[in-house]
Structure 1
C-alpha cells in the first residue's frame, strides 16, 4: 500500500538537505540504467503518458482523453499499464483486464481505464512483454498507450506526453530528498506537456521549447455507487455537508474541487491505491459520501446507500490532439 507523500518533500529543509547525497546517487543510477537500456520497438506506434514525479498529476483522465482522440481519428488503441496495487502483475505476470475486473487483482487504475475507454488493456511489470501480449490478443490495435510509462525505458516510444502539476513537484529534488523520479530537465525531451495549473518560471525554463497545453479536470454530476443509472448534478449538493473520500496521489485536488462547487467538505484522505474496506466508509452520521472514480471501483461492492462517485474528465487545450495525430502520422511516414 502506497504511503502519503512525506511533508518534507514540500520544502528544502534540513531533512531534505541531509538526503541530497542519496538523491545524487539516485540520479546517477537512473541515468546509468537509462543509458544501458536497449529499448524494444514494437510493430505499432507507442505513446507514453507520464510524469517526472511520484503521485497524482491527472494521468488517468489524460489516458482516457487520448484514447478518445485516437478513436475519433480512426485508430484502434490499446493500453499497457503496470497494474500497481494488483496481484495479477506481481512476479512478472501478465493479464488482460476486463472492464468489470477486480481492482485487487488488476489494480484500481487499470480497471478504471478499461471501463472508461473500452480499450484492450494488459497489465504487467515488463512493459514490452505486456505490449506484445496485448497485440497477440488484439491484433487490430494499431497504436499503444503506455500509462505512466516515462521511466520504463525498455519500451521504445514514438511520442511522449508529460502531465505536469506544479503542486506534485514539491521541492523539485530527486528521490528520496524530494518527489522527482527524474530531473525537471527531462521535460525538455518530451513531445508535449499538458499543464494542470500555472507553470512557474523554473518549470517554464526546464520545459524550454516543448509545446505546452493547459488542462483541467472537470465533472458536473455524481453517480450513485449502488445504481450507476442514478445521477445527480453536483450543484444539487451545494451547501450540504458531505464526506469526501480520496485514496489518490493528490487528494487535496479532489477536496478543493468539491469545495469550489459549494459543498461543505469533511475530508478523508487515504494513501494512494488504498485497499478500502467497509469500515473505512463509516463516519457516524447520515451525510452523503463522495469519492473519486478510482476509489469507487474498489468500494462499489460494500458502499453504503448514500455513496456517490464524482467522475471527472480531462479538458485539454486546443491544438494538443492535432499535434499528437500529426506526430503519429509523421512517424508512420518516416518508418
Structure 2
C-alpha cells in the first residue's frame, strides 16, 4: 500500500462502500477500453511486467532479474518504460548516467543496472518502435509496467503481486485496484511477494505463481560506489532509513530483519529529494534504496549508503518464461 494511501483503502468501511458506485463505473470503463483497444504488434515479442494495484509491488527487481535471465538464454533484450517522474514529452533513450529528473528514477536505475537499451515514453508502442530503430539487434522487449497500456501488444504478461498492496480488494476510487482480482487469472505468470490470501489464490485459477524475496548483503557508498561494506556491520546500530518507494515499510522491515535499528523516513513514491531531506544532526548512517540513491547521489552527505537488492524468485519461473517465449504465443 502506498505510504500516502487513503486509510479506507485498507478495509471495506463506510467510505469505501459509499464510493463503490464509482468503482463499478471505473471497472466498466476499464473493461470497455480493454475490449476496444487493439494492441500494436511488433516484430519482436514483448513481455509486460506489471501489476493490478496502485503503488509498488517490486516490479523493478523483477525486471532486473528477467533481463539477466533473458541475456543468459542468448537473447538481446531491451526495455521500455513510461518514465514516471521525468520530463520527457516524446520518446527518448535513457543513458546509464542519465538525470532522474529528466528520465525518471526507475528508468535510470534500470538503464545503469541492466546495461541494456532502454527507451521511455508515455506512448509505449512509440517507445518500442524507437527502441527497435536504435537497436535493430534487440530481439525481445520488456515493458516495465504497462499491464493496463493495451495499445502495446504483448507475447506474455507477468503480474507482480504484493498482497499487502491489494488493500480492501476494491477498484479505484474505493480501493487501490486498477483492475479486479480476476484479471490475475488471465496473465501468464504471477510472481508473489508475500503469502497468497484465499481470495487471491482463487483469482489465480490455473495461473502458475512463484514466490519472490528481495535479498541484499552489501551497502554501497553514494560518495564512492566502488566502496562497499557488509550490511551486518551496522547490526544493532540506529540508522536513518530513507525510502521514497511504493511501499517504504518493506525496506524498513528488511533492515530490521537484518538486525539494524532503522529510524524511519518514508516519502511518497518517486519523491524528488532535496538536500534537506537527508539533513540529520545525530551523525547516524543514512541508508536508502537503489531507486532513491540515483536521485540523491549528487548531494548526499557523508556516511550515506545505498542498499541494493536482488529478486530471488522460485525455481522454475525462468524456465517457464523462456518456454512460453519460445512457443511464440501472442495476444493483442
* Normalised TM-score (structure 2): 0.98
Q: Which residue of 2 aligns with 1:103?
A: 100
What pairs up with 1:234-249 in 2 under 5 angstroms? 234-249=231-246
| Structure 2: distance between partners of 1:318 and 1:3 | 32
1:16 CA drift (Å): 1.0
Kindly state the Cα deviation for residue 153 of structure 1 after the two structures are TM-superposed.
0.3
Q: Please say if residues 222 and 304 of structure 2, whose CA atoms lie closer than 8 Å, have aligned partners that are also in contact.
A: yes
Match of 1:72 in 2: 72
Q: What is the CA-CA distance between 1:283 and the residue it aligns to? A: 1.8
1:33 alignment partner in structure 2: 33
Query: For 1:205, what is the secondary structure of its paired residue?
Result: helix
Superposed, 1:168-207 pairs within 5 Å as 168-207=165-204
Structure 1 stretches of 4+ with a deviation exceeding 2 A read none
Match of 2:56 in 1: 56
Following superposition, the deviation at residue 31 of structure 1 comes to 0.6
* Aligned counterpart in structure 1 of residue 267 of structure 2, from 267, 270, 277: 270
1:187-227 per-position Cα deviation (integer Å, ceiling 9, x unaligned): 00000100111001100000011001111111001100000
Give ranges in structure 2 of 5+ residues lacking alignment. Answer: none
| Number of the residue aligned with 1:324 | 321
Counterpart Cα distance in 2 of 1:151 and 1:3 = 23
State yes or no: 1:289 paired with 2:286.
yes
In structure 1, distance between residues paired with 2:3 and 2:237: 30
Distance 2:150 2:72 in 1: 29
Q: Tell me the number of residue pairs that the alignment of Structure 1 and Structure 2 aligns.
A: 329
- Equivalence for 1:313: 310
Distance in 2 of aligned mates of 1:176 and 1:324: 33
**Which structure 2 residues correspond to residues 86-235 of structure 1 after superposition, within 5 A?**
86-88=86-88, 90=89, 93-235=90-232
- 1:332 deviates by 7.2
- The answer to whether structure 1 residue 18 and structure 2 residue 15 are counterparts is no
1:279-308 CA-partner distances (Å, limit 9, x unpaired): 000122100000000000000000001100
Shift of the alpha carbon at 1:3?
A: 7.4
